[in-house]
Amino acid sequence: MTVATKPTEIDPRALRRALGNFATGVTIITAKGTDGTRVGVTASSFNSLSLDPPLILWSSKKDARSCAIFETASHFAVNILAADQLEMSNHFARQQEDKFAGVDWQEGIGGAPIFPNCAGRFQCETYDKLEGGDHWIFVGKVVDFDDFGRSPLCFHQGSYAMVYSHPDTFPGVEKEKPQNDDWGRTGNHAFFLMLRAVRAYQERYQPKIETLDLSLIEARILLMLNDLSGMAADELVQLLHTPMAEARAALGTLENRGFVVSQDGGYSLTDEGQHKASRCWAVAEAHAQETFAPFSDAEVEGFTTMLRKLIDPDT
Ligand SMILES: Cc1cc2nc3c(=O)[nH]c(=O)nc-3n(C[C@H](O)[C@H](O)[C@H](O)COP(=O)(O)O)c2cc1C
């Protein structure tokens, strides 16, 4: 076997494009310098490194304006951005005098700014700084962290993206399929078929809704209030077909996130809630279109009429 010895000429632009195949999350790394200057940089180079001791790393361009501060700061914080924090990512990727003006932040350990509404946060002591070509690799020892579990913002091939579960990982949908075409007695009964169809439909729909950082029940509340504003909690809970405690918890979350307000015993959407509800409708309608694509318009109409008649025979 011959081994090629001539090194390949590396085209930096092509290399950058090829590296872009590796999808990452997006973070904002922050620190406070010894002179009190606060810096924050959008970075996708963050990664976990060690559990014992608890270490993480990221790399900064040596010629970045903020780099000198990171080189001397005793601490830094990693803020993992959630899917709805795209504007924050763009903001901290732009050079500007005071990136923190008009931004909601708190002072973390060692003065490093930390942000609310992230997916997760790691507050670190600067542990090591390693040479990495035109970058410095910073290693941090985690001294505190928060896990908010929100759907993360991703970056792939130079564009922002979101997490969407792989369809092959929905075990429930597989279970709905009959073995050897034998549907069995329940599989020939309309009631069981409807239950199984709703479950299969929902299992494919759920990961799409989760990309909006909403649970199924939260999305359902937004869609309903978009249609029927001013509904009382009890009415809403009844229409949701969910356990009372779960529906009330979801309403509380939507209220805390500023999507829903309660007034005179009725719930309605805020402007932000209306915007989120429109995005839910877009996902819901695209999913229905995709699901019913194999059927003709007449078949879909017949199916819809049949469902309405089952709900109310006088329709
Ligand atoms: C999605 C994304 C990821 C980035 N990742 C990094 C990174 O890992 N390291 C880095 O030095 N710059 C990264 N940048 C670029 C910096 O955010 C940008 O150069 C910023 O202006 C640096 O801030 P400063 O000029 O205040 O130092 C990234 C930008 C974007 C949009």
User: What pLDDT digit, counting tens, does each position of 242-294 carry?
Assistant: 777 888 888 889 999 999 998 888 899 999 999 999 999 999 999 999 999 99
From 44, 79, 96, 98, mutation site for ligand 1 pocket: most ligand atoms within 8 A of C-beta? 44
pLDDT band for 6, please (50, 70, 90 cuts).
low
275 lines ligand 1 (CB under 6 A): no
- CA-nearest residue for atom 10, ligand 1, is 60
pTM: 0.69
Q: Which residues contact residue 115 at a Cβ distance below 8 angstroms, ignoring those fewer than 6 apart?
A: 28, 79, 85, 88, 103, 104, 105, 106, 121
62 lines ligand 1 (CB under 6 A): no
Q: Domains in the chain and their CATH numbers?
A: 12-156 (2.30.110.10), 166-311 (1.10.10.10)
pLDDT at 213 over 90: no
Tens digit of pLDDT for each residue in 77-131? 999 999 889 999 999 999 999 999 999 999 999 999 999 989 999 999 999 999 9
**What is the distance between the alpha carbons of residues 276 and 279, in angstroms, rounded to a whole number?**
5
Maximum pairwise Cα distance, the chain: 81
- CA-nearest residue for atom 28, ligand 1, is 43
Residues 57, 140: contact at Cβ < 8 Å? yes
> In 69-190, which ranges are E strands?
75-80, 106-107, 113-114, 120-132, 135-147, 153-156, 159-162
Q: Which long-range contacts does 239-248 make (Cβ < 8 Å, 24+ apart)? A: 242/217, 246/217, 247/217, 247/221
pLDDT at 1 over 80: no
